A = this chain, B = another copy of it.
């Protein structure tokens, strides 16, 4: 009998992170890191796990969206799904009625991405490989066929993509060996949350350097005098050689971003992240031109490949920050990795949150092995929260992500965590603290 998808369960999971102001920034003072968590099961008892990261209120909307789209996955033959997740991605993203609610953005697009990722998880498990390796083992033709080029051809054609991936075959085995031996560079955001006091900031900065990180990140944009003081503290703590990226989380308009960052220039910031609206391609280009050589980074809220395409076409970014959950899943992230490679811009994935580190490391490692072939100026974000809830958590040693070896995409939460943090009726919430 044909194996089919027999159930798609979607759970509202919330961690009460706002109680300690972990994750606090200028735009998100009190986030409760959360997820619309997806478990897809097959008639043969196999599972695929996916999630859409959220920050508290509104997770119920994301859950509703995944449930609505799940009808397009339920009952599907598993062999076809895992052989070609791109076909599912096209159906989910292209549904002619649901498309009105995006298109290709926001709640419905992230819902599609969560389901597509759950299918990739299932596919990698069946292949017995971690996702990065499963992707790297696809042929150039298979990889390129997984991408929807409809709106991308003015920047990247199928032929160019195929050429890019084919050329990257050179040195692949050596890069895979290197990756397994030495891991992938990480940077840490742990010291820099806006809600932390100066003593905690200084202490965490020193600990970050001692742990082997070469790049740390501070949140900025709340108050200029505070930012100057905190940058000074951080710079003194880490010394002149460690990079300090700063992140404004979209609080500024274009003129504010330029003026504010000029005041922080003396501390040699490595990049300014999300200086303004994530939708403002031309604004990022203007900010980059005004602030060079400070790098401009964005991407965690960049809602699809068309936006990344324009950021690259306009010369608006020095750093492409893909996110495992924002876009329409692995397939759209493949397109973004290829676009970045075509334009020669390094990818430094956004992570943290719930499971973002676990998932996105696969994409960065795949990129190193099979697309860009480079680690130069490339770092995966690392935040040391909530990993204990994952079955296949990240391992970071001496400032580097070790390559995962367990089959799948690593989104699976421990059943005990799913139960404890279920909203609103799990024991962590039913105590009335919400």
Contacts and interface: CB of A to CB of B under 8 A. Distances in A.
Contact of A102 (B95, B106, B307, B309): B106
A250 B103 contact: yes
A316 to B, nearest CB: 10
B100 A54 contact: yes
Interface residues of A, number: 62
A268 interface: no
Interface stretch (A150-158, A195-203, A343-351): A150-158
A100 B14 CA distance: 14
Interface string A275-309: 01111111100100000000000000101101101
A310 B303 CA distance: 16
A58 interface: yes
Contacts of A97: 28, 30-32, 54-58
Interface stretch (A59-67, A362-370, A371-379): A59-67
Interface string A27-67: 11111100000000000000000000011111011101100
A96 interface: yes
Given A54-B100, A98-B58, A154 B303 contact: no
What is the total number of copies of this protein in its complex?
2
Interface in A150-176: 150-154
A286 B314 CA distance: 13
A353 to B, nearest CB: 9
B151 A96 contact: no
B96 A30 contact: yes
Given A68-B60, A96-B28, A97-B55, A254 B103 contact: no
9 contacts: A30-B97, A31-B96, A54-B97, A55-B97, A60-B64, A60-B68, A107-B108, A151-B253, A153-B254
Given A31-B100, A61-B64, 10 more contacts: A31-B97, A55-B97, A57-B68, A57-B95, A60-B64, A60-B68, A61-B61, A103-B278, A151-B277, A153-B254
